[in-house]
């Protein structure tokens, strides 16, 4: 690299610092976050460097967005770094804790010049992975919002209508929503007919409750509230119900789009003589569903693309953290990881306990060794990530019979894999 650039990202203005090959500051300037501003930034860097864009290293804290994509499309080598590491590098310039945009840009450029191994190179993923990442993250946002509205509904029912909670303790039940639309207040619920309740049960395909059970719950003595309290709370509930139905429908639609996109990615390499794609290999492993596969492919795209087991287990939080000082040594759970990837691997390990006998045996062995459930589950997840990387390297679909046969011949080798 002949030039090193640090960019302190901002919502409206980016601060840029440029160093030459000897680490000397040659220019500092601002760039607007707009279409014209980013184009001028690329032109100014090319004019200043007077070399191939690939020989210009650019350090930045964020690894996504229009700024990063513009620089990558222009041919520059872009490197990202965790903001916590930048905070440590900042101590080289001041120990007083001073911080400003110009200093941060200079810290990024200087640390990239001296400690490039602390950065990771940013690469653009395929269009399918970019779309899959957006859908997967949006699905999580919808589920969080659905949970929030559901909790608000539960609080209102607990306030004035506990009869509904006796029918269904969770407020995310469509049977409860339909009953609330038909009878939003306890007085109306007590007057509901058996025929109407039967129709609602039939529409929701409910067999665990009979019409008599529902009517018995609705006709219990209501709470004593101030005049108008039940009516006010029922209006609140009736406004929440359309939000709940819309969010549930969107969650279902986004989930279907993720399934269709994964299927399309698998079908692209389904021709004769072509190795299976990464999506097909991941989906072949027991316990992996569309949601887990989408998270693995998008949140850990680089470790999966490079078949890097050590990076993948660090991203997922299954790699332990060791702290040693003198005679004291502690091993604890890794906190610095991707929360979405950690959750996906957690659900993967949990579901594999039910559908894979080898996973269950590995988990039981860890519990028998004295480990608690969370530690045993992390150990199982770590093993499953090793299986995933092995399949990606060999480009072979998971074969349960082949795995069990290898284990029968040499259990020690397979168990440690």
Same domain, 159 and 92: no
Q: Please check whether residue 384 is in contact with residue 355, taking contact to mean a CB–CB distance below 8 angstroms.
A: no
List, for residues 74-95, the tens digit of each pLDDT value: 888 999 888 888 888 888 887 7
Greater confidence, 273 or 416?
Answer: 273
Residue 270's pLDDT band, with cuts at 50, 70 and 90, is confident
Residue 148 has pLDDT above 90, yes or no: yes
Residue 408 has pLDDT above 60, yes or no: no
Same domain, 217 and 314: no
Question: Is residue 254 assigned to a domain?
Answer: no
Contacts of 62 (CB under 8 A, 6+ apart): 9, 68, 80
Same domain, 204 and 300: no
Same domain, 143 and 229: yes
Same domain, 116 and 145: no
Judged by average pLDDT, the poorest of 52-61, 132-141, 369-378 is: 52-61
Same domain, 98 and 25: yes
Q: Show which of 204, 230, 249 is a domain's final residue.
A: 249
Mean pLDDT of the 306-326 span: 90
DSSP 149-217: HHHHHHHHHHHH-HHHHHH-SSTT-HHHHHHHHH--SHHHHHT--HHHHHHHHHHTT--SS-HHHHHHH
Question: Is residue 265 assigned to a domain?
Answer: no
What mean pLDDT value characterizes the chain? 87
Same domain, 116 and 198: no
Mean pLDDT of the 38-60 span: 87
Mean pLDDT of the 388-414 span: 72
- If one counts the domains in the chain, the total is 3
Same domain, 176 and 214: yes
Q: Show which of 93, 121, 149 is a domain's final residue.
A: 121
Residue 6 has pLDDT above 80, yes or no: yes
pLDDT of residue 242: 95
pTM (2 decimals)? 0.80
Residue 376 has pLDDT above 70, yes or no: yes
pLDDT of residue 405: 60
Question: Is residue 126 assigned to a domain?
Answer: no
Q: Show which of 249, 266, 296 is a domain's final residue.
A: 249
Same domain, 198 and 222: yes
pLDDT of residue 382: 93
Q: For residue 21, what are the CA distances in angstroms to 18, 60, 72? A: 10, 18, 21
Domain that holds residue 141: 133-249
Same domain, 233 and 312: no
pLDDT of residue 413: 44
pLDDT of residue 414: 44
Same domain, 402 and 293: yes
Q: Give strand pairing partners of 155.
A: none
- Which of 166, 140, 96, 130 minimizes the C-alpha distance to 301? 130
Question: Is residue 258 assigned to a domain?
Answer: no
Same domain, 170 and 89: no
Contacts of 20 (CB under 8 A, 6+ apart): 2, 3, 4, 26
Question: Is residue 128 assigned to a domain?
Answer: no
Judged by average pLDDT, the poorest of 1-5, 178-182, 310-314 is: 1-5
- Per cent of the chain over pLDDT 90 is 39
Residue 28 has pLDDT above 80, yes or no: yes
- Supply the CATH number for residue 27's domain: 3.30.420.10
Question: Is residue 255 assigned to a domain?
Answer: no
Q: What are phi and psi of 3, to 5 degrees?
A: -140, 150
Question: Is residue 153 assigned to a domain?
Answer: yes
List, for residues 213-255, the tens digit of each pLDDT value: 889 988 988 888 888 888 999 999 999 999 999 999 999 999 9
Residue 417 has pLDDT above 50, yes or no: no
Question: Is residue 387 assigned to a domain?
Answer: yes
Judged by average pLDDT, the poorest of 8-12, 62-66, 112-116, 304-308 is: 62-66
């Amino acid at each position: 690299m002949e030039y090193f650039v640090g960019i302190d990202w901002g919502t409206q203005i980016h601060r840029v610092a440029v160093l030459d090959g000897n680490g000397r500051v040659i220019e500092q300037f601002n760039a607007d976050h707009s279409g014209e501003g980013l184009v001028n930034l690329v032109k100014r860097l090319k004019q200043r460097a007077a070399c191939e864009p690939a020989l210009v290293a650019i350090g930045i804290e964020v690894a996504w967005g229009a700024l990063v994509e513009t620089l990558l499309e222009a041919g520059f080598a872009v490197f990202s770094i965790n903001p916590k590491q930048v905070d440590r590098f900042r101590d080289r310039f001041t120990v007083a804790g001073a911080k400003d945009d110009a200093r941060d840009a200079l810290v990024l450029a200087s640390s990239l010049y001296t400690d490039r191994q602390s950065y990771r190179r940013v690469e653009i993923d395929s269009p399918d992975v970019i779309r899959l990442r957006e859908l997967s993250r949006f699905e999580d946002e919808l589920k969080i919002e659905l949970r929030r509205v559901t909790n608000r509904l539960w609080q209102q029912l607990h306030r004035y209508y506990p009869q509904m909670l006796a029918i269904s303790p969770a407020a995310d039940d469509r049977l409860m929503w339909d009953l609330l639309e038909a009878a939003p207040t306890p007085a109306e619920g007590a007057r509901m007919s058996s025929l109407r309740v039967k129709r609602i049960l039939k529409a929701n395909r409910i067999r665990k409750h009979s019409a008599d059970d529902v009517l018995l719950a609705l006709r219990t003595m209501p709470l004593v509230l101030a005049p108008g309290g039940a009516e006010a709370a029922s209006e609140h509930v009736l406004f929440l119900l359309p939000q709940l139905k819309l969010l549930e429908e969107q969650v279902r639609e986004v989930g279907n789009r993720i399934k269709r996109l994964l299927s399309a990615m698998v079908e692209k390499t389904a021709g004769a003589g072509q190795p299976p794609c990464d999506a097909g290999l991941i989906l072949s492993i027991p316990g992996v569903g569309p949601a887990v596969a989408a998270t693995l492919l998008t949140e850990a795209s680089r470790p999966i693309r490079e078949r890097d087991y050590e990076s993948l287990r660090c991203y997922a939080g299954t790699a332990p953290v060791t702290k040693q000082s003198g005679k004291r040594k502690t091993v604890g759970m890794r906190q610095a990881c991707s929360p979405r990837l950690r959750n996906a691997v957690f659900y993967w390990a949990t579901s594999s306990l039910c559908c894979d006998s080898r996973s269950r045996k590995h988990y039981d062995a860890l519990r028998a060794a004295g480990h608690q459930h969370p530690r045993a589950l992390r150990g199982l997840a770590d093993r499953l990530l090793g299986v995933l990387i092995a399949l990606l390297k060999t480009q072979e679909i998971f074969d349960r019979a082949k795995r069990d046969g290898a284990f029968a011949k040499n259990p020690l080798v397979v168990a440690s894999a």
